[in-house]
Amino acid sequence: MMPFPAEAVSRVKVLVAGDIMLDRYWFGEVDRISPEAPVPVVRVARREDRLGGAANVARNIVALGAQASLLGIVGGDEAGSKIRDLAREAGINSCLVADADLPTTLKMRVLGRQQQLLRIDFEQEPGQPSLAKLEAQAKQLIAQHDMLVLSDYAKGALAQVDALISAAREAGVPVLVDPKGHLYQRYRGATIITPNRLEMQQAVGPWHDEDELEQRAQALRQELALDALLVTRSEQGMTLFTQDGRQHTDAHAHEVFDVSGAGDTVLAALAVTRAAGMSWFDAVLWANRAGGIVVGKLGTSVVTAGELS
């Protein structure tokens, strides 16, 4: 494989828009059961906050050596300011819409003895005024970037995703979508979408063999007017569908510690290598390699250009 195009990637500017969240971890010791209820008592020893959702995609883009702007909605709360701090530390250009009536999407995980004991989610769909602000800001920012990445976690920030796609098309900026749910009509006109195996099954139904998958994938690609469709299939690798047909690459075999956030890394690598001028399939090969590295790390991690070189 050719060397990672680090110099071309360093000139790339990617706008990531979507659902931003904070991943909060509380690690503790468990050595007794509560006298109040039959639950373990966790004595918190360490806390860690990480960028999640679209913010983790932006973090991965910066780690690969490209420039990332992050557009999304946060609340006027402590979690929101934590996201701003973490984004600044990561070297991400933040373009965040603040909504004082909204809690920042926060996933809080309590871990004891290396096991997740509890997850608490704070989330609420943003209202129309915030969505209108996000759309207006997107329209200003899109033309200043080489690629628009839409990171959909179904938390509501991409409620009017069609307007963002058409704004990007007007500006001649390619759109890469990580989809959620099964209503893919809303992504019509994007350049590429990257469903995982389960999401693809929800969208087109289960397939019995590769031929059937290819028929359904190509039908979906044409129906949505996409240049390409990439199905990420975990241990089965990745399959790219374009007008030239089907191209598959097997997963890199290695020890898998943690798949959380691997999709964000794959998306980031695909975006920066494609924006750096690679063909879709060459970009997929780099994305596959980056995904292979990140699942060997614990927690939502990033892959650097150095690790790919």
* Cα separation, 195 vs 229, whole angstroms: 8
Local structure of 178: helix, strand or coil: strand
Residue among 104, 198, 127 at smallest CA distance from 96:
104
Task: Annotate 81-147 with DSSP letters as a single string.
Answer: HHHHHHHHHHT-EEEEEEETTSPPPEEEEEEETTEEEEEEEE--PPPHHHHHHHHHHHHHHGGGSSE
* Active-site entry in 31, 244, 264, 282: 264
Please report where in the chains the tokens 């004891």 appear, as a residue: 112
99 counts as catalytic: no
Local structure of 29: helix, strand or coil: strand
* Cα separation, 28 vs 45, whole angstroms: 5
* Cα separation, 205 vs 71, whole angstroms: 33
User: Annotated catalytic sites, by residue?
Assistant: 264
